[in-house]
Structure 1
Amino acid sequence: MRGRVGGLTAITGALLAGQLSVAPPQRPGVAHTDSRPAAVPFAALDPAARSADPATLSARLAGPLANPALGNPAGLVVDALTGALLLDRRSDLPTAPASTLKTVVAAAALTTFGPRETLTTRAFYSPPATADGAATTVVGGGTLWLVGAGDPTLTAAAGPTGYPSFARLSDLATQVRGTGVTQVDRVVADQTLFTGPPTGEGWRDSYVTDGNVTPVSALEVDGGRGAAGATGPRTTTPAMAAANAFAAALRRCGVQVNSTEIGALPAAGVAQPGARQLAAVQSPPIPVLVERMLTYSDNDLAESLGRLVAHARGLPASFAGATSAVLDVLRELGVPTAGTYLADTSGLSTSNRIAPATLVALLRTAVLPGHPALRTLITGLPVAGFSGTLNDRYDSADTRAGAGDVRAKTGSLRIVTSLVGQVVDSDGRLLLFGFFAPVEEAGATRAALDQVAVALESCGC
């Protein structure tokens, strides 16, 4: 066990060291502080480690894969270094991926944006007009425009919330008050960076009320919930909730607010004549957002990142634009996409179809030296028994051996339970896998998938 953990630690350390080297272009709503650091290649794919034998490995996994709790699962295991096929069960047939699809939007975001790029939420001020229509210079009345940049981590919390560098409405309000504004007639929420319907094809009507996702908006606060870290139902009007939260923050700072509403800035995101930017707050860097999305399977972040990729690539920031954009990135990376159909970028849709071979090929692209920008795709994967959606798993007698070793993205819908990730086997060889059980997630299903991963991790095959 110790040797396997050491091997994984070495790989993770090498992945963390990889950085980008090309300066990112300026994009609306995306801020960056300087050029990208120099790149270094990934390392620690040990060619001296003994390669697994496909027949032996397949025999080792036959029992765990035959568990009735998994139905008739599809699956794929490959050698990360050589790409050698070690196990293949219908891996070229597109299937519903559930949240393992988030690895795709992660790759798209990491290759589209630089490691220091952030999302900037802004406040613009339009002073009231005089009787002859001219703008006044007074600091009372007028309109504050709260302009969303697609940052679901924007928070109404004034103090620490346990997540690094949240963009805070309290900071935005303090900046506004610092300019001398003491009263506004209204706060207007602008969510026009994103377009199209707020919910997706193949989404359950209960996703919002069950708390799975907020209706997609370029402006939301605390993930559409009443407070940072809260659970339960999401608001159905995230932009309006953000405007109300901003108004409350302004009042605490001594700025009188008479009303709030939803509106749209005039063309191209520019406030009405006479408006000026008073304040701005930045999200954590996009790779940090990507890591959080993967670790905690954050649906709001996944949908926002997909639209931001689309916007950066000149496509509509909608479901259609986002899915088209992320697939374009896969093709540019050389990842096969035959048979893929995407309805969203979070994996919530039951209409999504993608081949297991596509997702495993993407993981291999991420661990090989050619694309250091993708390192966060690996470091963001939940760690068995330690973090994110695998935090409370791998704690039973038959799965404990995988704790700390299995790194994988989980997925669950009423039609599929999935697990896609990596392990270092007992010979020190890095293996990549994807398993898709066509059954609704339950405790027995999760445990059965974990047993498959542990059998792979403990294999000296």
Structure 2
Amino acid sequence: MTPAVIARSTRTGCGAASPRCSVWCWSGVARSHGGPGRPRSGGTSSRGDAAGPADPAAVAPPPGVDVPDVVRPAALAPPAPGAGPLDRAAIAAALAPLRDKDLGPHVLAAVAPLTGTGFAYQATEGLPVAMPASTTKVVTSAVALFLLGPDRTFATRTVLERSGTTPRLVLVGGGDPYLTRTPASTDDGTSPTYQPKRADIRTLARSTAASLRASGVSVVRLGYDDTLFSGPAMNPRWEAGYFPEEVSPISPLWLDTGRTADGRTRVANPSATAALEFRRELGRAGIKVSGTTSHAAAAASATAVAQVHSPTLAQIVQRLLEVSDNNAAEVLLRQIGVAEGGAGTFTAGQAAVARVLKANGIDLGTSVLYDGSGLSRSNRLAPQVLVDVLRWAASDRAPQLRPLLAGLPVAGYTGSLDDRMDQGPPAGRGRVRAKTGTLTGVTSLAGIAVDRKGRLMAFALMADRVKAPKATLARTAMDDAAAGLGACLC
């Protein structure tokens, strides 16, 4: 399989059960050509049945047309085995760039077959854990997919309370990380990052207005409910300067990930901002809103009015992994807490992550995570944990985790890796999919690679004592090591 084909697989993801197909297949081929056993168009085959397209060699030419026999080309290469033992010496040679002094004195690495058990290579000198930075999102995404399922969506809705002389309409946040102000353009297929179709507050306001008018309501009071999440909106383990530069206050009700309409900065109260925007759109849609907009939990007896739905969790995961979206990752951590422990807090979310990993045979050991994005400099993670999570996602026992692997950026082609790994072995481009991790003094990569023998492996490479002037050089050394895994004969 060529690097170009591998790169395109991230555009649509894969639905097959086998880890090899779900990681490396180009589902765009199946979609545009019908796929195995499917007609190319119209629902029937060229033979007039629904059995799929006929073998071209079995189709007779039209009367009077003389054509040569179909020649079947020989295979260009034997099928790639996917699994198999890895050569430790070959892996060590491929990872030689990790000895670069620019990476600093604390460099950890782990490499293993994508399927099976055991490790082909481990380097854990000194402390066995390191600051993971955004590779933390691999763990968060895996647990979210496991608990909620790849098809899960999150609804932002309106409900009506008919109390008092004027009924109260309540805007209820459901934890949609990508709710927007207005209908957003969708992915045009040429961007290096995936852009799912998003729900928007304008559409919700118009649907709500139409439903209210149909029930004879033209004037309402307005409230907003963001009680799905609780606890502090900013993680106490984060640096004070993260707002507004790096992350918004985490809320189940926000617009454009908590940013202002022009996208230039983040707002201090995303829920209230969303409610005010909704109020304006409701007025434009012909519903009068009286009084002030209040913060209140919706009554259990309220009547449903309208709702809009987020992209699926699989689509959310792909987007957040490709662009390393801190905000979306933190919303998913809260959703994990709600699903597993009934509380949408940072602590409930992270406790649920630890429980789910343990229940699935992944030992955290001395690893500890305090958030879902990796922004906390207090996080510590062993590279073996990241590798085990990737292998969990590839295993037959967890098919719902496949979007994690399919959503990883492709080296040299998509997302946060579209302009990386261009100085290492050329054969590594397109053969490596990985999540990046970057903080001051930290550079890391965790992902999967297919070597030139076709063997699939999971890897995690981490360095967390990089001197600031060496940051770019350290990142290049890390990239070269990862590209070496794709280029090697391991």
Scaled by the length of structure 2, the TM-score of the pair is 0.78
The CA deviation at 1:160 is 2.9
Q: Could you say if the C-alpha distance between residues 262 and 333 of structure 1 is closer, same or farther in structure 2, counting changes exceeding 3 Å?
A: farther
The CA deviation at 1:253 is 1.0
What are the residue-to-residue correspondences of 1:13-162 with 2, within 5 Å? 16-18=15-17, 47=81, 51-62=85-96, 64-72=97-105, 73-90=107-124, 93-127=128-162, 129-130=164-165, 141-162=166-187
What are the residue-to-residue correspondences of 1:50-449 with 2, within 5 Å? 51-62=85-96, 64-72=97-105, 73-90=107-124, 93-127=128-162, 129-130=164-165, 141-162=166-187, 163-181=195-213, 183-184=218-219, 186-210=221-245, 212-227=246-261, 231-258=263-290, 260-265=292-297, 270-271=299-300, 275-394=302-421, 396-398=422-424, 400-438=426-464, 439=466, 442-449=471-478
Q: Could you say if the C-alpha distance between residues 427 and 7 of structure 1 is closer, same or farther in structure 2, counting changes exceeding 3 Å?
A: farther
Kept in 1: contact 2:143–2:356 (CA 8 A): yes
Which residue is equivalent to 1:451?
480
Q: Could you say if the C-alpha distance between residues 383 and 47 of structure 1 is closer, same or farther in structure 2, counting changes exceeding 3 Å?
A: closer
Kept in 2: contact 1:152–1:304 (CA 8 A): yes
Kept in 2: contact 1:198–1:217 (CA 8 A): yes
Kept in 2: contact 1:399–1:450 (CA 8 A): no
The CA deviation at 1:390 is 1.1
Moved more, 169-178 or 256-265: 256-265
Kept in 1: contact 2:350–2:372 (CA 8 A): yes
Cα distance in 2, alignment partners of residues 146 and 11 from structure 1: 35
The one-letter code of the counterpart of 1:407 is R
> What is the DSSP-based 3-state SS (H/G/I as helix, E as strand, rest coil) of the residue aligned with 1:359?
helix
Q: Could you say if the C-alpha distance between residues 386 and 313 of structure 1 is closer, same or farther in structure 2, counting changes exceeding 3 Å?
A: same
Q: Could you say if the C-alpha distance between residues 254 and 336 of structure 1 is closer, same or farther in structure 2, counting changes exceeding 3 Å?
A: same
Q: Could you say if the C-alpha distance between residues 341 and 84 of structure 1 is closer, same or farther in structure 2, counting changes exceeding 3 Å?
A: closer
Per-residue CA deviations over 1:416-449 (Å, capped at 9, x if unaligned) read 2110011111111112110111126833222221
Kept in 1: contact 2:212–2:305 (CA 8 A): no
> What is the DSSP-based 3-state SS (H/G/I as helix, E as strand, rest coil) of the residue aligned with 2:419?
coil
**Count of residues paired in the alignment:** 416
Cα distance in 1, alignment partners of residues 307 and 486 from structure 2: 47
> What is the DSSP-based 3-state SS (H/G/I as helix, E as strand, rest coil) of the residue aligned with 1:17?
coil
Which residue is equivalent to 1:41?
none
The CA deviation at 1:370 is 2.3
The CA deviation at 1:377 is 0.9
**Cα RMSD, aligned residues only:** 2.8
Unaligned runs of at least 5 residues, structure 1: 20-43, 131-140
> What is the DSSP-based 3-state SS (H/G/I as helix, E as strand, rest coil) of the residue aligned with 2:170?
strand
Per-residue CA deviations over 1:82-113 (Å, capped at 9, x if unaligned) read 44423211188222111111111111111112
Q: Could you say if the C-alpha distance between residues 386 and 221 of structure 1 is closer, same or farther in structure 2, counting changes exceeding 3 Å?
A: same
Cα distance in 1, alignment partners of residues 444 and 147 from structure 2: 27
> What is the DSSP-based 3-state SS (H/G/I as helix, E as strand, rest coil) of the residue aligned with 1:209?
helix
The CA deviation at 1:283 is 0.8
Cα distance in 2, alignment partners of residues 156 and 93 from structure 1: 45
Q: Percent identity?
A: 38
Cα distance in 2, alignment partners of residues 425 and 328 from structure 1: 34
The CA deviation at 1:289 is 1.3
Unaligned runs of at least 5 residues, structure 2: 19-77, 188-194
Scaled by the length of structure 1, the TM-score of the pair is 0.82
Kept in 1: contact 2:172–2:253 (CA 8 A): yes
The CA deviation at 1:359 is 0.7
- Structure showing greater Rg: 2
